[in-house]
Chain A
Amino acid sequence: MPIIQVENLVKKFGNITAVDDISFEVEEGTIFGFLGPNGAGKTTTINILCTLLSPTSGRTLIAGHDCISESSKVRKSIGIVFQDTTLDKDLTAYENLIFHAYLYNIPKAEMKERVDNVMKFVDLYNRKEDLVKKFSGGMKRRLEVARGLIHRPRVLFLDEPTLGLDPQSRTNLWEFITTLPEKHNVTIFMTTHYMEEAEVCDRIAVIDNGKIIAIDSPSELKKIVGGDVVSITTTDNIHVRKEIETVFKMSVSEKNDELYMTCSRGDTCIPELIRTLGERVLSVRIQRPTLNDVFLKLTGKTIREEETSGSDSVRESIRAYRRRH
């Protein structure tokens, strides 16, 4: 049985449809990614799965429990790292985790040991007595992941876990997150709008305007793009271009004195090109498709463009709607 089941989920805020009839399943022990621009409906979906929001319609189950009628059982089976920090900055790291242990009714005898263990796991054990306000962004995020693991959840939600972190902390955090399913026997459900980060997932759902537009493994999704982009510079672009088009039957485009072509496998395509063109080739470049290319192919826009356009206003109007109700 899948650990997360979502069937025809819809969430409306007034006349804005934040989540528009989505369905998917997540298998236990995998890393599942929700990928899409800001305002696509990722956080709304997480909030529904975490029992913080009730859906307009549709059904969501976690570990077989209904998120509405069995919310208490669902809450016991999940751990969450929200987009914004939810630590008490005026308490120490240790106090924050002990607070959590009491909330989740961990037996007193095990409490200290469990808290110490997760703190060692995230490498913050030697800072346990420090106030959280002294922690860096990356340390706070690690502490929140540790906190989310104390009650041994079956699913750990990570909502934009690397938002606002510097590149190095980001890399460290991902290395650490990928070890979680094995070491803690937990399924990861994460959202991100960074394409590169979604690559650690076993399966990815690409979400845009509240709808899932593709769902598959990263490598399968990349096949949508059609292969690698090979670009070459030559001594004589005009003739070489014609030659490639007739010999290889590939369409070639030219930009900034470079010739571009898409081949299903760049690694075998390049030797053939060089063999045919010989010394006329001056340089060769190969670009593997990224999930950004996938998003571009699926939606006709890049994820960054989307960020600055309508999505922020969607987020604002949802916020305004929630304030009024």
Chain B
Amino acid sequence: MEFNAVYVIVAREFKKFIREKSRLFSAIARPLLWLFIVGAGISSLVPNQTGVPYTQFIFPGIIGMTILFSSMFSSISIIWDKEFGFMKEILVAPVSRFSIVIGKALSGTIVSTIQALIILALFPFLGFKLGLLQILEIILICVSLSFCISAFGIVLATFYDSYESFSVIMNFIIMPMFFLSGAMYPVKLLPDILRILAKLNPLTYGIDIMKHALFPDASGNMGPDISIMTSTAVIIFTSILFVVIAGKLFERKG
């Protein structure tokens, strides 16, 4: 692996992220809308029976959503790079395809973790009392989930080469992944077919571990329902799988 190449791919993405203030602003605005407007609206319908108020229940889901959108957008920027030609500059360089994939996945991880942490910082306003260990645990989850989703986004991006495909990805992949992740409602209450789809979604496992970390004592419908071991294993395994697939797809030539 070429570390200089990985470093510079990440540095480029980070520099552009810092420079585009509007991108950061809208990336933060979306979860805030869901958290304080949609969340407040729905919480009036949901009786607080299990000790977890609805506004707290959706908090891990909204962090997961932040990660989903920012990781995906970061990886989908590969399609822009293809459309505007910059990808060719990277592809003709003496750099292994694996380094390119790692560089892109780490770019998504960093940009996405930063945004997730901004949302996480809101926890006192939602009535959470978190210890340092809990916060570190959540940061670790954010980093690994961001990497996993970014790698998945890279796999997707290899199939498209024009930005018209963006709305397809948005409507048929990103939104269903969000709605089938247990972010807004517990997966266990979904009809069978939807529950199976949710179990195929890596985001479900990321959000579930966050539930373990945020409300470890909650049981019943509002609490976590997958073991920490299973979720950790799924995220690590799918991350590796996506990186390998993305590497192979990048290697493929016409």
Shortest C-beta distance, A243 to chain B (Å), equals 61
> A24 in the interface, Cβ–Cβ < 8 Å?
no
Chain B residues closer than 8 Å to A139, beta-carbon distance: none
Q: Which of B88-109 contact A (CB under 8 A)?
A: 88-96
> B47 in the interface, Cβ–Cβ < 8 Å?
no
> A304 in the interface, Cβ–Cβ < 8 Å?
no
Q: Which of A59-78 contact B (CB under 8 A)?
A: 72-73, 75-76, 78
Chain A residues closer than 8 Å to B89, beta-carbon distance: 86-87, 99-100, 103, 147
Picked from B91, B94, B254, the residue with its CB within 8 Å of the CB of A322 is B254
Chain A residues closer than 8 Å to B20, beta-carbon distance: 90
Chain B, interface SS category: helix
**B92 in contact with A89 (CB, 8 Å):** no
Q: Mark A303-325, 1 if CB is under 8 A from B, else 0.
A: 00000000000000000001101
Chain B residues closer than 8 Å to A54, beta-carbon distance: 253-254
Q: How many residues of B contact A (CB 8 A)?
A: 27
**A91 in contact with B8 (CB, 8 Å):** no
> B48 in the interface, Cβ–Cβ < 8 Å?
no
**A86 in contact with B4 (CB, 8 Å):** no
| CB-based nearest A residue for B93 | A103
Chain A residues closer than 8 Å to B225, beta-carbon distance: none
**A86 in contact with B85 (CB, 8 Å):** yes
**B88 in contact with A102 (CB, 8 Å):** no
Chain A residues closer than 8 Å to B11, beta-carbon distance: 102
- Known contacts A75-B92, A102-B4; A88/B254 CB under 8 A: no
Chain B residues closer than 8 Å to A75, beta-carbon distance: 92-94
A141 CA to B88 CA in the complex, in Å? 15
- Known contacts A91-B15, A102-B4, A323-B161; A80/B253 CB under 8 A: no
Q: Which of B185-242 contact A (CB under 8 A)?
A: none
Q: List 13 A-B contacts (CB under 8 A).
A: A53-B253, A72-B94, A72-B96, A82-B85, A85-B85, A86-B86, A88-B12, A88-B86, A100-B89, A103-B89, A103-B94, A105-B4, A325-B254
Not counting A86-B87, A88-B86, A105-B94, a sample of 11 additional A-B residue pairs whose C-beta atoms are within 8 angstroms of each other reads A53-B254, A54-B254, A75-B94, A76-B94, A99-B12, A102-B5, A102-B8, A103-B8, A103-B89, A103-B90, A322-B254
Chain A interface (Cβ < 8 Å from any Cβ of B): 13, 50-54, 72-73, 75-76, 78, 80, 82, 84-91, 95, 98-100, 102-105, 147, 322-323, 325
